[in-house]
């Protein structure tokens, strides 16, 4: 992509960004207890003694969470570590009764990986993954129910999280946005996290620093915690970078700190001076043994892997002849890709893609529907394309049929049959319309013969209009010219 350089009166700057993303693991029960992970239940109803931090309670690792983490690691093209271990990260939060979080520190379950992102100019860039570890979530403090009290809901306490840490590979807000969308797409394909940033099941911490353009130093970074949409992440990067530049250009220094992004102003404000790893007094979790995975286990998870968006996109381009852009859009979520594949079965893939990218998405958008709620089934969209390919209906009539399909959900053959919309390809029937049009417009025939040959198009239009759009345009065109030239 075009380089993202911030230019001021005093110089040119480059932004350096890394992301840390907490992703809630999809599992029935929590990572170290049997309590339910259901979102939106009555507060404090899904809390076991372990989640409440009762003395003497012992955590038991949920193997489904491990399974989901390994799947995710493979989806990030990352190394799965056969040895990993749990640590205690000590800190106080009112919504964390144990005063420590069980997490992974020195030995995470997933090591280095890489993810390709698609940029708006059609290029791709590879972003490095530093690591991914698993840990437990904290509960939730609720401050807006009472002017004087805070409430604590422990339903979320102990829900499994995957924390994905990228390398500081982003050089523009757009790249971070593209990565988050890609990550969300991969997680949803895998079914390991629902990726809903607005519900907090995917939460992004953004590390930003700047440096003079062309230098490769890494300057002090600031971290924005829990930015909760792709748009806000991009905005936070842009504004935080500007703040750093202003400080540097006025001779100041940036201190490592944790900041909060305020969506209403778009600006960041300081929360606290950054704590360092040693402040947490990490130590190995005494109640859990190291996690050891066998090659057989890792391979069995590998064998379960489904086709992910990049591979699917490549296949759509190579075997179905789609453009890279169409393939990217159709593969962004699995439901759309599945719909496309069903619709295209036995039909012209490029034509199906065109209909989906055009009228079909516009219809869903207008009706504010998700593709799974589409009134037009995949089979029926494919059937519509088939009717056009076989010249049963014209492209123009197809638009009308599509509208009726969107309203009624009926199949296109039935609509065409019942409403008599079949294209007229019978040359005899077309000829008689043409003869009538020519007979009624002798002045234009004369003008045509005197050299105004572009009137042929006008005759074609009249004939198609008289046939109520059903006459095949190619046939009309051919016969009109023959008759006018004779």
Q: List contacts with Mn ion (CB under 5 A).
A: 163
Nearer to Mn ion, 153 or 163 (CB): 163
Least distance to Mn ion from the beta carbon of 163, Å? Answer: 4
Give the tokens for residue 155: 């339903």
Least distance to Mn ion from the beta carbon of 135, Å? Answer: 5
Least distance to Mn ion from the beta carbon of 81, Å? Answer: 17
Helix 334-344 to helix 324-331 angle (10° resolution) is 120
DSSP for 68-87, please give it: HHHHHHHHTT-PBPSEE--E
Exposure string of 227-237, with b = 16+ CB inside 10 Å and e = fewer, is bbebebbbbbb
Q: How far apart are CA 469 and CA 453, in angstroms?
A: 23
Nearer to Mn ion, 84 or 423 (CB): 84
Q: How far apart are CA 462 and CA 438, in angstroms?
A: 10
DSSP for 184-247, please give it: HHHHHHHTS----TTTTSEEEEEEEEEEETT-------EEEEEE-SHHHHHHHHHHHHHHHHHH
Nearer to Mn ion, 14 or 285 (CB): 285
> Which residue has 């492209």 as its token pair?
395
Q: How far apart are CA 68 and CA 213, in angstroms?
A: 40
Least distance to Mn ion from the beta carbon of 233, Å? Answer: 17
Instruction: Find the DSSP H helices in 63-172.
Output: 63-75
Nearer to Mn ion, 11 or 284 (CB): 284
Q: How far apart are CA 211 and CA 216, in angstroms?
A: 8
Q: DSSP character for 386?
A: H
Nearer to Mn ion, 134 or 397 (CB): 134
Least distance to Mn ion from the beta carbon of 356, Å? Answer: 39
Nearer to Mn ion, 135 or 326 (CB): 135
Least distance to Mn ion from the beta carbon of 72, Å? Answer: 15
> Which residue lies nearest Mn ion, judged by its C-beta?
163
Least distance to Mn ion from the beta carbon of 161, Å? Answer: 7
Least distance to Mn ion from the beta carbon of 205, Å? Answer: 8
Give the tokens for residue 120: 């708006």
Give the tokens for residue 9: 């009166």
Nearer to Mn ion, 89 or 347 (CB): 89
Nearer to Mn ion, 163 or 169 (CB): 163
DSSP for 447-469, please give it: HHHTT-TTHHHHHHHHHHHHTTT
């Amino acid at each position: 992509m075009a380089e993202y350089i911030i230019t001021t009166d005093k110089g040119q700057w480059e932004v350096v960004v890394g992301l840390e993303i907490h992703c809630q693991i999809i599992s029935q029960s929590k990572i170290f207890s049997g309590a339910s992970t259901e979102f939106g239940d009555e507060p404090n109803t899904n809390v076991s003694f372990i989640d409440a931090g009762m003395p003497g309670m012992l955590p038991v690792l949920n193997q489904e969470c491990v399974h989901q983490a390994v799947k995710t690691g493979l989806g990030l093209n990352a190394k799965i570590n056969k040895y990993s271990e749990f640590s205690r990260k000590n800190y106080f939060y009112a919504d964390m009764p144990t005063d420590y979080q069980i997490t992974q520190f020195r030995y995470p379950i997933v090591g280095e990986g890489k993810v390709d992102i698609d940029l708006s100019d059609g290029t791709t860039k590879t972003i490095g993954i530093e690591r991914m570890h698993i840990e437990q979530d904290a509960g939730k403090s609720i401050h807006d129910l009472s002017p004087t009290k805070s409430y604590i809901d422990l339903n979320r306490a102990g829900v499994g999280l995957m924390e994905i840490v990228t390398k500081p590979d982003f050089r523009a807000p757009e790249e971070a946005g593209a990565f988050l969308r890609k990550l969300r797409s991969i997680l949803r394909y895998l079914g390991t996290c629902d990726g809903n940033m607005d519900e907090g099941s995917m939460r992004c911490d953004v590390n930003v620093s700047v440096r003079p353009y062309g230098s490769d130093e890494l300057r002090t970074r600031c971290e924005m915690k829990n930015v909760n949409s792709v748009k806000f992440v991009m905005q936070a990067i842009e504004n935080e970078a500007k703040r750093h530049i202003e400080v540097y250009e006025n001779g100041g220094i940036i201190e490592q700190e944790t900041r909060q992004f305020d969506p209403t102003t778009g600006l960041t404000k300081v929360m606290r001076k950054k704590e360092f790893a040693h402040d947490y007094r990490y130590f190995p979790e005494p109640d859990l043994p190291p996690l050891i995975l066998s090659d057989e286990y890792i391979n069995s998870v590998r064998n379960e892997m489904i086709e992910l968006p990049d591979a699917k996109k490549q296949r759509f381009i190579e075997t179905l002849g789609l453009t890279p852009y169409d393939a990217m859009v159709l593969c962004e979520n699995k439901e759309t890709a599945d719909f496309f594949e069903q619709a295209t079965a036995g039909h012209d893939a490029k034509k199906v893609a065109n209909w989906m990218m055009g009228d079909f998405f516009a219809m869903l958008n207008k009706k504010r529907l998700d593709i799974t709620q589409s009134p037009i089934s995949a089979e029926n969209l494919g059937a519509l394309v088939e009717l056009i390919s076989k010249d049963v209906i014209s492209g123009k009539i197809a638009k009308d049929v599509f509208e009726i399909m969107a309203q009624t959900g009926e199949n296109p053959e039935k609509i065409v049959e019942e409403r008599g919309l079949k294209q007229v390809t019978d040359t005899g029937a077309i000829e008689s319309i043409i003869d009538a049009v020519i007979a009624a417009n002798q002045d234009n025939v004369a003008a045509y013969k005197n050299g105004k040959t572009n009137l042929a198009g006008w005759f074609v239009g009249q004939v198609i209009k008289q046939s109520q759009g059903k006459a095949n345009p190619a046939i009309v065109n051919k016969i009109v010219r023959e008759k006018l030239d004779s």
